[in-house]
Structure 1
């Protein structure tokens, strides 16, 4: 993550997050232009005498201040609906990972492969090595391949949790007795961090999420599957 991005959204590593960042900039520009126009009108009214306090009927300006906000809302709503559709769609996933939230750790089950299950606990501060992040590093990471669609099926064993990685643009509630699903595609190898985003108990802040994206060849070696499967 670059230094400049610490003051805003994190760098996108998936197409969905790129769309979310573009929509954020689009909506922010609309808010900025509206704010500048309102401030200009307020300053003009306060510094000049060109106003008529006796005006009781102005059909033209009423049409303008009714139609313009409607157009602006449509310009914001259409991209938002498109992104919501893209986030909800799961198209031909190559890998499926079942994610279970526990008090207070995550477990990952690779449903496409036999006997591949990972329990992910936070590394205590005393056991951290140089370069690791406090309260974010785990003993076993969730390993995913790059450049393929990965489906995440999220649930919980005890209380409400929420599986979220900001750089992926993913945030899915983990609800006991219910399966929620989402998908993502990581563009390049790397290690990406997230945390439980639901207040799930006393150790809520101690169940981090770490996704390690590797090329497909390395992923198949990790799950002990021949490359030609």
Structure 2
């Protein structure tokens, strides 16, 4: 992976992340247009030799540079507010998963399926298999079905953590004694990685998150196999 690709946003795996990327591109386009206009005005004013000693006011110009930025802010605020509302919207979740942060690992509960519970620890570097990512791979991945709304309940058992997966466009603080919730719909199969983004202690960087997106049949098979193991 090149250095430039690491600076870009991850490929979207949910509709929310797709809209977040679109809004990012929209905002960057507006910023580039504003910077281009300001740079052109600055260069044209500093490089010409025109002077005017009798101009004391320019009400038309002042009105323009007051009203125009207000419209620019509207072009940014309206889609931002719409997206902010959609990120908190939960309609009819098909699967509910509870994530609990510990120092320093995550535990998960599938309360819809006879209380399936497991802990998810980071895989040590010497135990990694070929193709696995260092500091991101876990021993037990969170398996979730595609094209079904998933509700995630987030809490913590000791200190404040933060459950974050960039490709899904979700991030929620895990606070002891409190439940935060968010939802997402996985659009494609794959494994998506995240990390705790809250400074929760000495091993803060060693509690990754791995989400495995599968089809419905594979998810049901995984649930049944997990029950058989118990």
Partner of 2:159: 159
- The yes-or-no answer on 1:137 pairing with 2:149 is no
Partner of 1:83: 83
Partner of 2:38: 38
Deviations 1:106-164 (A, max 9, x none): 01100111131121000011101111100000000011000110000000000000000
Task: State how 1:1-229 maps to structure 2 within 5 Å.
Answer: 5-52=5-52, 54-224=54-224
Deviation, 1:52, is 2.7
| Bigger mean CA deviation after superposition, 41-50 or 74-83 | 41-50
Deviation, 1:19, is 0.2
Gaps of 5+ in 1: none
CA distance in 2, matches of 1:72, 1:144: 40
Gaps of 5+ in 2: 226-230
2:158 is paired with a residue whose SS is coil
1:223 is paired with a residue whose SS is helix
Deviation, 1:3, is 8.6
Question: Runs of at least 4 residues of structure 1 off by over 6 A?
Answer: 1-4
CA distance in 1, matches of 2:131, 2:3: 16
CA distance in 2, matches of 1:215, 1:122: 25
RMSD: 1.5
Calculate the TM-score normalised by the size of structure 2. 0.94
